[in-house]
Structure 1
């Protein structure tokens, strides 16, 4: 019995040793991955902000008096001139009021003329004449007000521009307090692009772009030209200029409102379009890495830094600014550090690799070829 137990133990040991040797033989070698050395470059980065465009003139057209809409004299998108008639409201009741007001003016005028000779003859007092004159002025004022309302029933364009969406048609009852305007007339040979910058970024911009003056008002003249990326992803062919910075920080959002102006001679840009504003920033001798050499997790960027002592890699968090196809390193790496150039999705923290030498340019160029 004792010999049988010893035999079983020996067999088990042999089997275990055989399995371990087999596993060791089957273990794959470390992956072969390119290493690159972190370099510095002169590079331009971009800060991006969502924007909405607005014509340099964007005037709501509203009625000043109530009435039924009887005529719509323009079409959506039509070019109109200042004082061109756009809409007409029903004026029969207003015209009746105007006729009554004219009659009151005539009656008051007759009363004044009748009292004048009587005052000279001391038949009536001067006070009676002054009262009659006051009633005449009141009647004239009422007539002027009603006549103005009659004029307001003819609604004209206050500016040159283009007609927007027409929100009401013939027969609609129009009131000055309506939620929707009748339409909007916009002028878009130039457009404004509004965007908001948080207060930290605003102060950084003052430090970065306003180097020639201590006055923040001079930031407008020293600010770089702006790029507009339209909603279809294409870059607008004309650069914009920063023309206004709000004097206040929005207390609810903690942002400062900026306004850029873009020329729009072919009227390609429309009032209400959205897009993104890109602000360029030139960086001299910036520490950079290829974007393909990084990976993200929970909103943070990482690289795999190579350890020469044991050929392992270690996750390294980095703070970056995007400048395709590179990322500018604000913190986390230094010039000369060695990182995995490509294949970061094939390894994990503390893995060992078989390094091959490569360069940043070759990594970037190989990435471009794949996606061309």
Structure 2
């Protein structure tokens, strides 16, 4: 009984103590924080698709000897500009010259025989068959002489085109011939440079869908002018045009080869060098958003959309093209929606924020800038991505 009374007293004291305490207040909810936002709008966007290219002269002609002989004289030097018909090499053809003289003597002898037999036939001393045989031998001798004389002339090698001399792997005194693996030199006509680049099957399909035309040739004609990025990152000051594309896909590489041509009046471009061809593709009424506004959730590209009550809600979007600073959205967003552009890692669905509209900076004017209300971004399919945004 005493124990029960003791525990009852303790319970009564605890109840009185609890009743005497003042009820503690819950901690206040954090105030909404400011976040930069932007209103989604449809704009015309120019995406620059970039492809690594190999540069070659309009004509790259390998100079090879047609006859065997020692190089007697080299009349040009590496890098020298030459004209069509200009003398390049002289081969020692003494043996061929002697053969030509012998062939010429055979022609003279055959001619003498024909001249001797002709009057005898007229007098019917010999048959006409003998004369015809002598004439056939004369024709054979002349043909042999022409062949030998031509070979002797092949010792003098001239340039078949206007251009620039490449490397000279052989020096004077070297023995060369028609079976020599390396050419004597290469003459490159660099007034017009050709840039060769390739598109894989997926890129080729996009190309065919992007540009209008009932044939591949018409689609190529409807492509805009292209630009060329040099190895130092600068842009070549002359624009070019795409001229041709192979009709078949290379079975080994799975690519189709394109050829663009650029004027080269100042000889800035060199045959054998590399560059990057930039092909502009216009996306009309595209939705362009800052890359910082898009984040990845389990492989899905997502943005935070701001509701009318300033609460945020995550939304999955489809990214069409990537640039250095922007994404072009092909699905999931509509014009007029407001999205958070920075600090998305701090947000959760249902969180309330204080929207702060981001101010768009005007891009500096350029001579070849796109029209007003056009955003120009750049993406490359085979090289490092770059971006140029114009408003």
TM-score (norm. length: structure 2): 0.73
Instruction: Specify whether residues 177 and 291 from structure 1 end up closer, same or farther in structure 2 by C-alpha distance, changes over 3 A only.
Output: farther
1:218 alignment partner in structure 2: 218
Distance 1:44 1:261 in 2: 22
Alignment of 1:245-260 (within 5 A): 245-260=245-260
Instruction: Specify whether residues 312 and 359 from structure 1 end up closer, same or farther in structure 2 by C-alpha distance, changes over 3 A only.
Output: closer
Instruction: Specify whether residues 277 and 62 from structure 1 end up closer, same or farther in structure 2 by C-alpha distance, changes over 3 A only.
Output: same
Alignment of 1:352-363 (within 5 A): 357-359=355-357
User: Unmatched 5+ residue regions in structure 1?
Assistant: 1-29
Q: 1:121 aligns with which of 123, 131, 144?
A: 123
Q: How many residues align?
A: 334
Instruction: Specify whether residues 82 and 355 from structure 1 end up closer, same or farther in structure 2 by C-alpha distance, changes over 3 A only.
Output: same
2:168 alignment partner in structure 1: 166
1:7 alignment partner in structure 2: none
Distance 1:191 1:301 in 2: 44
Per-residue CA distance 1:52-98 (angstroms, 9 max, x = gap): 11222221111111111111110111111111100111111111111
SS of 2:55's equivalent in the other structure is: strand
Distance 2:111 2:262 in 1: 59
Contact 2:241 2:261 in 1 (8 A): yes
1:76 alignment partner in structure 2: 78
Instruction: Specify whether residues 352 and 246 from structure 1 end up closer, same or farther in structure 2 by C-alpha distance, changes over 3 A only.
Output: same
1:282 alignment partner in structure 2: 282
Per-residue CA distance 1:85-132 (angstroms, 9 max, x = gap): 001111111111111111211221222222222323333322222122
1:229 paired with 2:190, answer: no
Alignment of 1:52-67 (within 5 A): 52-67=54-69
Distance 2:224 2:58 in 1: 21
2:199 alignment partner in structure 1: 197
Instruction: Specify whether residues 168 and 357 from structure 1 end up closer, same or farther in structure 2 by C-alpha distance, changes over 3 A only.
Output: farther
Distance 1:301 1:267 in 2: 49
Per-residue CA distance 1:30-55 (angstroms, 9 max, x = gap): 99865555443222111111111122
Distance 1:62 1:321 in 2: 49
Contact 1:290 1:364 in 2 (8 A): no
Distance 2:342 2:69 in 1: 71
Instruction: Specify whether residues 290 and 36 from structure 1 end up closer, same or farther in structure 2 by C-alpha distance, changes over 3 A only.
Output: same
Contact 1:325 1:364 in 2 (8 A): no
Q: 2:189 aligns with which of 187, 190, 196?
A: 187
Instruction: Specify whether residues 58 and 361 from structure 1 end up closer, same or farther in structure 2 by C-alpha distance, changes over 3 A only.
Output: farther
SS of 2:249's equivalent in the other structure is: strand
Q: Which has the larger radius of gyration?
A: 2
2:152 alignment partner in structure 1: 150
Contact 1:46 1:322 in 2 (8 A): no
What RMSD in Å do the two structures reach over aligned CA positions?
3.5
Task: State the 1:215 CA deviation.
Answer: 4.4
TM-score (norm. length: structure 1): 0.77
Distance 2:173 2:326 in 1: 61
